[in-house]
Chains A and B, each alone.
Chain A
Amino acid sequence: MKTTTKLWIGIGVLILFSPLGLILPERFKAGDAWGEWGADAFKELVGYIPKGLEKLSILWSAPIPDYAFKGWEEKGLAGLSFAYIASAIIGILVVACIIFLIGKFLTKKD
């Protein structure tokens, strides 16, 4: 089997196990990464919401925010894990397509 095939299988395994990145923080009661809180969190953290931060934080609404489907909040960890895996697949498909397009423009056949 070609090495690249084996590495793609490796990526597939990582995708399947990716919900660990969701479940372990939940299990160990770990919150957001430092410096990645929502604007509202600042009321509690420093007593006020920084004005510029509040304005800019709603600038972009991503189609799949935080690798979760909108309206699935009540489906619990199983639903979140499913959405996480689906997000990983979608994300990697898009990433790979962009790289292959870039590769078409940037490399010569030899």
Chain B
Amino acid sequence: MHIPDGYLGPATSGVMYAVMLPVWAIASKVVKKTLKAKQVPLLAIGAAFSFVIMMFNVPIPGGTTGHAVGAVLVAILLGPWAACIAVTVALVVQALLFGDGGITAIGANCFNMAFVEVFAGYYLYKLISGSSLIISNRRVIAAGIAGYVALNIASLSTAIMFGIQPLLHRNANGESLYCPYGLNVAIPTMLGEHLLIFGWVEAVITALVIRYLQKQDPFLLKAGEGVSA
């Protein structure tokens, strides 16, 4: 889901940076107001988790690979705005140091994984959890469903960015200048593989870690509710 340099034309990359700048500004503001100094280590762990879980490329035999993002888990633990910052930092380091995702596409990649996935997953988790107890099974299931659905929404949003490129940029010969695959290819392929495989990986890791924390440290889960503003 890490869009490399060159797949998106300047219009799409530019718009995505323009959308993310205010999001990052609001995230800093909200985090400044709500995140306590003693929660910073957990934020670092969240960003580290997202960074390393994205290195676990899961193969589709004979086909492509994909991975979980861990964004929904971080959002449940620290609220969506702090999660947005954590996943953004992971994505920026991946792009700059490891060439995983393009630098012109940082806005787009952050929009998909640090914004769309984070907020979709967070609010779905809230919706399904309702007023259930912090240690209830319902929250484990909510975390799993939120992980699955949110990663798929992020993959759809990525596929749309790929897929509109042939509509936006072609030369006189009809050749695409950037990503050559249209919506009719990008959406079924990307969404299909995430619905079939990668979404389940996100679901399982999100649910398992929430289950572990319910047993290990329910207060930590409770504290996450306080930074949700």
Contact = CB atoms under 8 A, between A and B. Distances in A.
A binds B: yes
Nearest to A109: B37
B64 A31 contact: yes
Nearest to A38: B4
B98 A106 contact: no
Interface of B: 1-7, 9, 28, 31-32, 35-37, 39-45, 47-49, 51-53, 55-67, 85-86, 89-90, 93-100, 102-104, 158, 162, 169, 171, 175-181, 186, 189-190, 193, 213, 216-217, 220
B63 to A, nearest CB: 6
A78 interface: no
Given A45-B180, A53-B6, A64-B99, 12 more contacts: A4-B41, A8-B45, A24-B58, A28-B60, A35-B7, A50-B179, A52-B169, A66-B98, A90-B97, A91-B97, A99-B43, A107-B31
Contact of A65 (B28, B63, B99, B169): B99
Interface in A25-42: 25, 27-36, 39, 42
A101 to B, nearest CB: 10
Contacts of B180: 42, 45-46, 50
Interface in A2-27: 3-4, 6-8, 10-11, 14-15, 17-18, 20-22, 24-25, 27
A103 interface: yes
B47 A99 contact: yes
* The 5 A-B residue pairs with the shortest CB-CB distance in the complex, in nearest-first order: A62-B99, A103-B40, A30-B59, A56-B6, A52-B177
A82 interface: no
A19 B175 CA distance: 38
A38 B55 CA distance: 18
B160 to A, nearest CB: 12
Given A14-B49, A35-B179, A91-B51, A51 B171 contact: yes
A66 B36 CA distance: 35
Interface of A: 3-4, 6-8, 10-11, 14-15, 17-18, 20-22, 24-25, 27-36, 39, 42, 45-46, 48, 50-57, 59-67, 84, 87-88, 90-92, 94-96, 98-100, 102-103, 106-110
A24 B7 CA distance: 27
5 contacts: A7-B45, A18-B55, A39-B6, A50-B176, A99-B89
A53 B104 contact: no
A64 B220 CA distance: 35
B37 A110 contact: yes
Contacts of A48: 175
Contacts of B190: 34-35
Contacts of A106: 28, 31-32, 35
A65 B51 CA distance: 15
A57 B4 contact: yes
Nearest to B198: A33
A46 to B, nearest CB: 5
Contacts of A3: 213, 216-217, 220
A12 to B, nearest CB: 10
